């Protein structure tokens, strides 16, 4: 008799447990159904995603790209996606450590924000999907010969390359009487080397004498900038992460010397430049997030996904520095918000 009572009690308890599980599942399904668009679909599928983000360094351009990426995926997947954002503080070795930790954690996708982060991610895994952003030239970054727009590997992404011939034209438009243009960048950044080599012929064809000035890290930025200012009429800084993080130090040398700087992107221009032909890094990151959604949810293959580029470019000027150097931008330039 006692055994029958015990068996009945156990049966009742199991039934109650199953009912509770059914209630939890139903609640989750209802919550997913109430979400809008693809976020609802992502939640209803029951699939969750973890994305590792390796950002080389903290500065406005890279921060905006990361934010755009996270916003795009959050809008599409809601609470089904989580981000593990780690900053390498400008150190390539730290990028490698971060990306290896993502591989150990078996994340669903890696976002590599800036060229050294992309290179570290590529070395860490050839199976986990990788998307780059704020990367200037993928062929240079990944040593791909016979570039055709796709990597053929587990990597794709977006490029922040603005038209370098257009930037050379901007320098000519703003400073037609200048004779010597110095290109200032970090020698350790492959994207900067590529831009310097590419823009030099455009500047030379415009009649300028061009010389490059490189620093190896933030410790010699001020000294190298001082040398460049003493020998040039105008400086050009490409989309260089070290320069972006040291923009204030560069400005502290260039502005008192009266040397204008044309920058490759808005963040650098805001810190030390007079003008830039720039893109929206937020929009670039957002487009990368949309690519991530296609990979994670729709099964797109990054090896065949074309590298995407910014759809539009804007002529911008730094009103504060232009005023200090007595420079009046021509029509068609937009002031950078301060």
User: Do 131 and 252 share a domain, yes or no?
Assistant: no
Q: Give domain status of residue 24, yes or no.
A: no
Task: Tell me which of 18-32, 63-77, 134-148, 173-187 is least confident.
Answer: 18-32
Residue 324: partners with Cβ closer than 8 Å, 6 or more residues away: 255
71 CB neighbour count, 10 Å cutoff: 14
User: For every residue of the chain, which 3-state class applies, written as one string?
Assistant: CHHHHHHHHHHHHHHHHHHHHHHHHHHHHHHHHHCCHHHHHHHHCCCCEEEEEEECCCCHHHHHHHHHHHHHHHHHHHHHEEEEEEECCCCHHHHHHHHHHHHHHCCCEEEEECHHHHHHHHHHCCCCCEEEEEECCHHHHHCCCCCCCCCCCCEEEEECCCCHHHHHHHHHHHCCCCCEEEEEEECCCHHHHHHHHHHHHHHHHCCCEEEEEEECCHHHHHHHHHHHHHHCCEEEECCCHHHHHCHHHHHHHHHHHCCCEEECCHHHHHHHCCEEEECCHHHHHHHHHHHHHHHHCCCCCHHHCCCEECCCCEEEECHHHHHHCCCCCCCCCEECCC
Decide if pLDDT at 40 tops 60: no
**Confidence grade of residue 39 (pLDDT, cut at 50, 70, 90):** low
The pLDDT value given to residue 41: 52
Distance CA 149, CA 135 (A): 14
Same domain, 149 and 256: no
Whether 138 and 242 share a structural domain: no
pLDDT digits (tens, 9 = 90+) for 59-114: 899 999 999 999 999 999 999 999 999 999 999 999 999 999 999 999 999 999 99
Asked whether residue 270 falls in the same domain as residue 130, the answer is no
The verdict on 222 and 295 lying in the same domain is: no
**Which residues is 110 bridged to in the sheet?**
52, 130
Kindly report the pTM of this predicted structure.
0.78
d(CA 267, CA 239): 9
pLDDT for the residue numbered 328: 96
Tell me if 168 is assigned to some domain: yes
Tokens 């599942």 belong to 25
Is residue 137 situated within a structural domain? yes
The reply to whether 147 and 197 lie within a common domain is no
Judge if 117 and 131 occupy the same domain: yes
Share of residues in the chain with pLDDT > 70 (%):
87
What residues contact residue 244 under an 8 Å CB cut-off, 6+ apart?
Answer: 57, 59, 60, 61, 62, 265, 267, 268, 271
pLDDT higher than 90, residue 33: no
The 10s digit of each residue's pLDDT in 212-249 is 999 998 999 999 999 999 999 999 999 999 999 999 99
Clarify whether residues 136 and 80 are in a common domain. yes
pLDDT reading at 11 higher than 70: no
Together in a domain, 70 and 142: yes
**For residue 37, is it within any domain?**
no
pLDDT for res 278:
86
Q: Is 287 in the same domain as 216? A: no
In a domain, 76, yes or no: yes
Q: Is residue 10 part of a domain?
A: no
Q: What is the CATH number of the domain that holds 329?
A: 3.40.50.2300
Q: Domain span at residue 84? A: 42-160+280-306
* Within a domain: 23: no
Domain assignment of residue 83, yes or no: yes
Q: Looking at the structure, do residues 148 and 188 belong to the same domain, yes or no? A: no
Do 331 and 245 lie in a common domain?
A: yes
Task: Count the domains in the chain.
Answer: 2
């Amino acid at each position: 008799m006692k055994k029958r009572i015990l068996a009945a009690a156990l049966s009742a308890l199991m039934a109650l447990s199953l009912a509770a599980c059914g209630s939890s599942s139903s609640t989750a399904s209802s919550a997913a159904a109430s979400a809008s668009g693809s976020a609802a679909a992502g939640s209803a599928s029951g699939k969750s995603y973890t994305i590792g983000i390796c950002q080389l360094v903290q500065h406005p351009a890279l921060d905006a790209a990361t934010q755009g990426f996270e916003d795009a995926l959050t809008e599409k997947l809601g609470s089904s996606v989580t981000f593990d954002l780690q900053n390498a503080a400008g150190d390539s070795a730290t990028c490698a450590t971060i990306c290896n930790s993502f591989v150990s954690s078996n994340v669903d996708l890696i976002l590599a924000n800036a060229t050294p982060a992309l290179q570290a991610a590529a070395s860490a895994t050839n199976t986990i999907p990788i998307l780059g952003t704020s990367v200037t030239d993928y062929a240079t970054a990944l040593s791909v010969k016979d570039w055709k727009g796709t990597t053929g590997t587990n990597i794709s992404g977006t490029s922040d390359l603005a038209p370098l011939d257009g930037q050379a034209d901007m320098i000519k438009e703003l400073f037609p009487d200048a004779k010597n243009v110095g290109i200032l960048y970090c020698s350790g950044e492959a994207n900067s080397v590529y831009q310097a080599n590419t823009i030099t012929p455009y500047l030379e064809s415009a009649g300028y004498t061009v010389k490059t000035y490189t620093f190896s890290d933030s410790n010699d930025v001020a000294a190298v900038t001082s040398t460049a200012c003493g020998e040039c009429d105008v400086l050009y800084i490409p989309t260089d992460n070290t320069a972006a993080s040291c923009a204030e130090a560069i400005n502290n040398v260039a502005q008192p010397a009266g040397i204008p700087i044309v920058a490759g992107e808005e963040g650098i221009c805001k810190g030390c430049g007079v003008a830039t032909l720039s893109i929206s890094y937020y929009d670039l990151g957002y487009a990368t997030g949309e690519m991530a959604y296609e990979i994670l949810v729709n099964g797109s293959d990054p090896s065949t996904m074309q590298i995407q580029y910014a759809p539009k470019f804007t002529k911008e000027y730094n009103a504060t520095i232009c005023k200090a150097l007595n420079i009046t931008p021509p029509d068609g330039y937009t002031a950078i918000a301060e």
